[in-house]
Structure 1
Amino acid sequence: MLLGPVLLKLVAILCVIALGYVVGRARWLGDNDPARTLGNAAFYIFVPALLFRTTTRLDIGAMPWGTLIAFFVPVVALMIGVYAVLRWRLQPGEPVAGPSVRSISACFGNTVQMGIPMAAAMFGEAGLSIHVALVSLHALTLLTMLTAFVEMDLARDRVRQGGGDTHVGRMLLTTARNTVIHPVVLPILAGFAWNVLGLPLPGLVDETLLQLGQAVVPLCLVLIGMSLAYYGLKGALRGALWLSALKLLVLPLAVLVVGHWGFGLTGLPLAVVVMAGALPVGNNALIFSQRYRTLEAEATATTVVSTILFAASAPLWLWVLSLIR
């Protein structure tokens, strides 16, 4: 019964993705790569507005830090592990940003449009408050780290090709600058600085950011459908399946093991973090891949496949949690 609202939300998400697919197939927005234009709009306008407003409104003192650490330790460990293995196995001619793009697909969950209604439906207000605290640090932690990884890889690649600064200090400085002056990282850092200083957001600014942020979810879902229409699943399905398996099975298992046996979580906090780990791939995976023009078809396919398979994997994890005492 508790899964009812979540499944309804999942079907609605798939319907919006299907609408984007129809728009892409029919070329209603023209033939001049409108998916990339929408992706850039999301990346440079709407997502930064949402992230800045979210971080300025955090109640940092009320954060359940122990529970959050129990979640992010296995998530970050798996993300770094996937990145390290793929970076080690990277072959000449393969995209340099590939390891980072695949790492985000394996670890970045749909914590907002799927996670929030799931937490509200299954765990009530107490569980939702834990989940919202997790959401507030989700993008900051994962996107900041992956941005640093990919920018360092790109800097090293430019040096190898003779087009970059070979001085280690200047290369690190350039990487740090590209990591901070970034459409995702910068608004998060600015939002936290605003929050720490205790500055109020003027009413007009807050309302403007709210309006921009509300466009993120429908825009990104339509973008996924359009990208699926343009790229298709051919050649991307195999990658989408193993990345979905990492996201839907390996990651929540890691969160369960570390959270319960490592940090002693039980009951509601354990259930919330495990189900957060079990969420399908979030829209930021596609936006990240478009930012670096790498594996866009695979990121699209992984988002769609993991969202569909979540209907089967979510009840599995709820059953597993019912066995934990």
Structure 2
Amino acid sequence: MQSLLLLLPDFSLIVLGAVLRQVMLNEAAFWPSVEKLVYFILFPALLFNAMATADIDPDGTLPLFFSGLGLMLSGFALAWLGRPLMGLSPLAFASRMQCAYRFNTYIAIALAGKLHGPAGVATMGALCGTMVPFANIFAVSQLARHGQTNMLSEIARNPLVIATVAGLIWNLGGLPLPDAAASFLKRLGDAAVALGLLAVGAALRWGKAEGRLAGSVWLLVVKLMLLPAIAWGLGRQLGLEGVPFDILVLFAALPTASSAYILAMRMGGDGPGVAWLISASTLLAIISLTFWLQLL
């Protein structure tokens, strides 16, 4: 019950976003504009601030980093194993396989703060920030391979990658972040979480998706159950305990990011199929996250 109550406020924002799209804010341009604002301005500000101000201890950070990278590679490999179940074209499959390893950072930051306060936010911000480039490299490389887009160009101009790398350079360079700038970035980051969760709800779609149901089920099982189990094993093997261990398992259990849909649409992929998977993983995560949080 305590784990469910932890999830309730943030998933209530997702439900509210879905309701608002249906009954009040249903103009065609409104939610795409919100997503654009979050994706290009608010969320990069959150990532830059988290990376620029994080206490990066190589001895403690490296095991968490390698665990996160192991999870990303595991999700990628497990998605490939399920390809025979999909019944999709190469481009459609490349669009959907990102749903096995991409993660919803809006939900991540919100839940990490509820679970472990500022330490949880900083740890999750660092983990998500360092994994965003890999998530985008994996996804963009596959979509570009089967589409008509240049992979290096897409990665180089991705705002999440730019913000993460810039924040890391700022941190490692020992540059101070003025109080006024830090306060400004924090306000943008706070707005990113709330608006991001509302946008997740507004993006829920249940239209018809091509391919076999078995393939979609496999991707959902990988994302919500197999990756958290792998995270549990990796974390123990690498000696993670306390906040880093909890954050790693939570990170692995997150539903798929709505940015997967945006990327698929921008690169001419299977938008409807990705939207269906995002919607299903977001709703099912209420159950799966409750289960994993209860074990922590």
Tell me the CA shift for residue 189 of structure 1.
Answer: 0.5
Q: What letter matches 2:167 in structure 1?
A: G
Q: How does 1:1-325 map to 2 (within 5 A)?
A: 4=2, 6-26=3-23, 28-61=24-57, 64-65=60-61, 67-69=63-65, 71-85=67-81, 91-92=88-89, 94-95=91-92, 97-105=94-102, 110-119=107-116, 129=119, 132-141=122-131, 143-158=132-147, 174-228=150-204, 231-232=205-206, 242-260=218-236, 262-263=237-238, 265=239, 268=242, 272=246, 275-277=249-251, 279-281=253-255, 285-293=257-265, 294=271, 295-315=274-294, 317-318=295-296
Tell me the CA shift for residue 305 of structure 1.
Answer: 1.9
Q: Which runs of 5+ in 1 are unaligned?
A: 121-127, 165-173, 319-325
Q: Distance in 2 between matches of 1:214 and 1:273?
A: 19
Q: Distance in 2 between matches of 1:104 and 1:98?
A: 12
Give yes or no for contact 1:86–1:99 (8 Å, CA) kept in 2.
no
Q: Distance in 2 between matches of 1:274 and 1:137?
A: 8
The structure number with the bigger radius of gyration is: 1
Instruction: Sort the Cα spacing of 1:134 and 1:37 in 2 relative to 1 into closer, same or farther, 3 A.
Output: closer
Find the residue that maps to 1:80 and give its secondary structure.
helix
Q: Distance in 1 between matches of 2:179 and 2:50?
A: 15
Q: Distance in 2 between matches of 1:79 and 1:253?
A: 12
Identity, in percent, stands at 21
**TM-score, length of structure 2 as denominator length:** 0.80
Instruction: Sort the Cα spacing of 1:203 and 1:273 in 2 relative to 1 into closer, same or farther, 3 A.
Output: closer
How many matched pairs? 285
Give yes or no for contact 1:241–1:302 (8 Å, CA) kept in 2.
no
Cα deviation code 1:105-158 (max 9, x no counterpart): 4x66743111332245xxxxxxx74774353122322x2122122332343334
**TM-score, length of structure 1 as denominator length:** 0.74
Tell me the CA shift for residue 8 of structure 1.
Answer: 2.4
Find the residue that maps to 2:110 and give its secondary structure.
coil
Cα deviation code 1:82-124 (max 9, x no counterpart): 343366867337526414531334x66743111332245xxxx
Find the residue that maps to 2:232 and give its secondary structure.
helix
Give yes or no for contact 1:21–1:222 (8 Å, CA) kept in 2.
yes
Find the residue that maps to 1:114 and give its secondary structure.
helix
Give yes or no for contact 1:240–1:302 (8 Å, CA) kept in 2.
no
